[in-house]
Structure 1
């Protein structure tokens, strides 16, 4: 802050103070007592103005709200502030500025209106608002509010902070991935949820021939009458298809910044967005989606098919995810050993041919193996494609929706240059 910003007088107040000094000097030099009176009057006016700001009790309270309350990276946010002012004296027009963190941009300042006197319990409320853009994901502290107050004469000013920072959650951007066109709806893995609907209607009941020992209460009378022999109800087991999305957080495959602060590494940001976008698409397709780290660790509770709230919670949870201690890609092979699933999407960073060779066994565990790499070498992507992966290169700036469609809708690969 510059020395001029700390100066308690405005330009008008500074002029009044200088005029008071000048009148005092001229009064003594030329023997004009009226100038002495004017000098004292100006000095008292400036002193009284300072006292109204620094001595008279004045309190402010601010509440801050965001619209939407949870933003996505790149999204505009409306910030609304309600400032309650309690003061026995009226306040002149001033200035306000809300402090924005790194990762947000916007014009967060303006003119603070005049306030009337009043010591009511709820004070005099002033509503302010501005628009800002969330540039990167994370938990971003917005505030405090800086107020520059002036006295009714406009001689003095006081700069002070009101309230504490309020965190804004910025989630990764969820791209609109297209539907999986060539996958049957019943495709699923070996781990399935079973629903027993006995006694909940006949839609899920399959009649079979009566066997000695069957309960008479399970006789399906309509089927028995139709076939002219006793038939009993047998519950049909419904299977829920499963999918897996893997976010490779191994720090060796990312820039060092990816392990420090959310949003610091553009490549890792693309990967996080691709991971959440793929999970969102698969949930819409009706899959139970598990989001894993490359070593098989669950990064979020499994999300049931069609659970939009679960996807929102996943995005919120991934607002602060970073790269971590290194884990080899081979650990994914071990984590999937003996298991099969529907779609499997691996989102990774800088892999080479050796990594691609180590992942060669993974496609056999999935009906739709997709590998999306931010910075893999071209030979690595070619090698992965040869082993059964549908590969896509997704460097920063790429359209994730196009990359997804290129490998899923048409069953091809997007290796890139």
Structure 2
């Protein structure tokens, strides 16, 4: 964008005064006033010529730290401005356009730049901080640079450089382990044993069988039991967990389907989804992320692989509400087998929705239901049917709700069928 009026306040005053001098000189026949008006007019014209005839090649590149920002975090932006000019420039001002979703002061005084005839380009680094306020993909820029002539009479503003993409992801909140007892719901302590005859050393011993290698004899166990014992290979299996983010538009506001970051309740649900997935992956679960209709929202996250969580968080930067899945569908999809921890995150869940989900808790070792704006007595009814349920309204502390659903005791009236 360029300013339509090329003069500063000083330049405007000089132009008006020159015009007034011409009018007054004609009225009273004053040669001095006429000369004064000619001088002011020449000064204004010379300022415009000097400002526009001096060639300046300006380029802008930006970098951000961090490269991807989480909602609520601070982002440091560095705009590297390269200027090539034959003549020295005067100080000016700069302003970098900040989109909705980011906020902060992004402007200031641009320093004078010396001639580049001998030393090539001159560069200036403009550094400022922004706060990420809304999830999504935002475009920073262009940068508007305003320069003035040496007398401060004329000015020229121009937009320079391209826009720079800034990705704002959900906030991944550090949550405690799902249960108070290690291994109570699986985790890294859960293992299965296979007898392979040969393999890695373990502390588990079994009676010798023909074909076992003599190198695998467990001498301490042999002496203790007075019979030949060999070491048994133990192979750990990764337990699984499921996190379901209900994106059905009927349980969110219309803004949730319009774009990311517009519905505070949906944002709370997305934050809860990535935070729950992070906690489960950290505890050793292979985590499946799915929609309420069973459609996967990402690849399975391997247990202990925090890098996979980083990829998930970046992918969820543009996630919106969509579809019209009934929660009864979710119950039918997951009641055919037994699974580890099962976390359902939804919005305006009703008591009828809870009734449709009543069969699901019996098929999970730790079923968790988190709702941003439950209707009626939905939470109480969910707890009575076997869920570990809590409300997570927008602006609340997710850790408090997670601690509530992480309690070891089953709710009164629980329908769990897993020992």
Pair in the same fold by TM > 0.5: yes
* 1:364-403 alignment runs, 5 A limit: 364-403=362-401
Question: What does residue 140 of structure 1 align with?
Answer: 138
Distance in structure 2 (CA, Å) of the matches to 1:122 and 1:333: 68
Distance in structure 1 (CA, Å) of the matches to 2:367 and 2:75: 37
Change in 2 beyond 3 A, CA 1:116/1:30:
farther
- Residue aligned with 1:385, SS: helix
Deviation at 1:358, TM superposition (A): 0.8
Comparing 341-350 with 233-242, which one deviates more in the overlay? 233-242
Question: What does residue 74 of structure 2 align with?
Answer: 76
Deviation at 1:236, TM superposition (A): 1.5
Question: What does residue 306 of structure 1 align with?
Answer: 304
Question: What does residue 59 of structure 1 align with?
Answer: 57
Residue pair 2:197, 2:212 contacting (<8 A) in 1 also: no
Comparing 90-99 with 368-377, which one deviates more in the overlay? 90-99
Distance in structure 2 (CA, Å) of the matches to 1:243 and 1:311: 14
- Residue aligned with 1:318, SS: helix
Distance in structure 2 (CA, Å) of the matches to 1:273 and 1:119: 54
Distance in structure 2 (CA, Å) of the matches to 1:64 and 1:99: 13
Deviation at 1:200, TM superposition (A): 7.0
Distance in structure 2 (CA, Å) of the matches to 1:284 and 1:344: 16
Change in 2 beyond 3 A, CA 1:215/1:363:
same
Alignment length, in residue pairs? 407
Residue pair 2:199, 2:233 contacting (<8 A) in 1 also: no
Deviation at 1:28, TM superposition (A): 5.3
Comparing 363-372 with 283-292, which one deviates more in the overlay? 283-292
Instruction: List per-residue Cα deviations over 1:209-253 (Å, max 9, x = no partner).
Output: 3434x2647753757975776555542221222211110011111
Deviation at 1:377, TM superposition (A): 1.2
Deviation at 1:275, TM superposition (A): 0.8
Distance in structure 1 (CA, Å) of the matches to 2:327 and 2:77: 43
Change in 2 beyond 3 A, CA 1:150/1:412:
farther
- Residue aligned with 1:117, SS: coil
Distance in structure 1 (CA, Å) of the matches to 2:388 and 2:221: 51
Deviation at 1:42, TM superposition (A): 3.5
Deviation at 1:125, TM superposition (A): 1.0
* 1:203-222 alignment runs, 5 A limit: 204=202, 206-212=204-210, 214=211, 216=213, 219-220=216-217, 222=219
Question: What does residue 417 of structure 2 align with?
Answer: none
Deviation at 1:134, TM superposition (A): 0.9
Change in 2 beyond 3 A, CA 1:259/1:193:
farther
Change in 2 beyond 3 A, CA 1:120/1:333:
farther
Residue pair 1:406, 1:412 contacting (<8 A) in 2 also: no
Instruction: List per-residue Cα deviations over 1:66-111 (Å, max 9, x = no partner).
Output: 2222111111222221211111122222111111111121111111
* 1:144-293 alignment runs, 5 A limit: 144-185=142-183, 187-188=185-186, 201-202=200-201, 204=202, 206-212=204-210, 214=211, 216=213, 219-220=216-217, 222=219, 226=223, 231=229, 234-293=232-291
TM-score (norm 2): 0.87
Deviation at 1:32, TM superposition (A): 5.5
Question: What does residue 295 of structure 2 align with?
Answer: 297
Distance in structure 2 (CA, Å) of the matches to 1:51 and 1:217: 97
Comparing 9-18 with 367-376, which one deviates more in the overlay? 9-18
Change in 2 beyond 3 A, CA 1:194/1:11:
farther
Distance in structure 1 (CA, Å) of the matches to 2:135 and 2:232: 51
Distance in structure 2 (CA, Å) of the matches to 1:365 and 1:188: 14
Distance in structure 2 (CA, Å) of the matches to 1:410 and 1:59: 67
Distance in structure 2 (CA, Å) of the matches to 1:26 and 1:118: 46
What is the CA RMSD across the aligned residues, in angstroms? 2.9
Residue pair 1:188, 1:243 contacting (<8 A) in 2 also: no
Question: What does residue 347 of structure 1 align with?
Answer: 345
Deviation at 1:194, TM superposition (A): 7.9
Distance in structure 2 (CA, Å) of the matches to 1:339 and 1:146: 60
Residue 320 (structure 2) pairs with residue 327 (structure 1): no
Change in 2 beyond 3 A, CA 1:376/1:313:
same
Distance in structure 1 (CA, Å) of the matches to 2:162 and 2:191: 47
Structure 2: where are the runs of 5+ without partners?
Answer: 412-419
Return the match for 2:42 from 21, 41, 44: 44
Deviation at 1:205, TM superposition (A): 7.0
Distance in structure 2 (CA, Å) of the matches to 1:120 and 1:404: 64
Change in 2 beyond 3 A, CA 1:117/1:27:
farther
- Residue aligned with 1:291, SS: strand
